Amino acid sequence: MKLSARNQFQGTVTKITEGQAMAEVVVKVGTLEFIAAITEGSVKNMGLKVNDQVTVAIKATEVMIGK
């Protein structure tokens, strides 16, 4: 899979919480966890399961830092 997003991280799905239309997918990358809200249909179409190896791709116009 090739994507234009430069920020790509390989990780493991640790949790999937399904709702009526959306699902929350937690992906562990090293000591970090990324949480993505995707459609339930996408979870089913990709056949996502806990312990699957996936790529987290982040493409944003802004990155904010607070202190």
Strands (E), 3-47: 7-18, 22-29, 32-39
- What percent of the chain is predicted at pLDDT more than 90? 76
Asked whether the predicted pLDDT for residue 41 surpasses 80, the reply is yes
User: What per-residue confidence (pLDDT) applies to 64?
Assistant: 82
Question: What is the pTM (predicted TM-score) of this model?
Answer: 0.86
59 contact partners, CB below 8 Å, separation of at least 6:
3, 4, 5, 6, 7
User: What per-residue confidence (pLDDT) applies to 53?
Assistant: 98
Mean pLDDT, the chain, whole residue set: 93
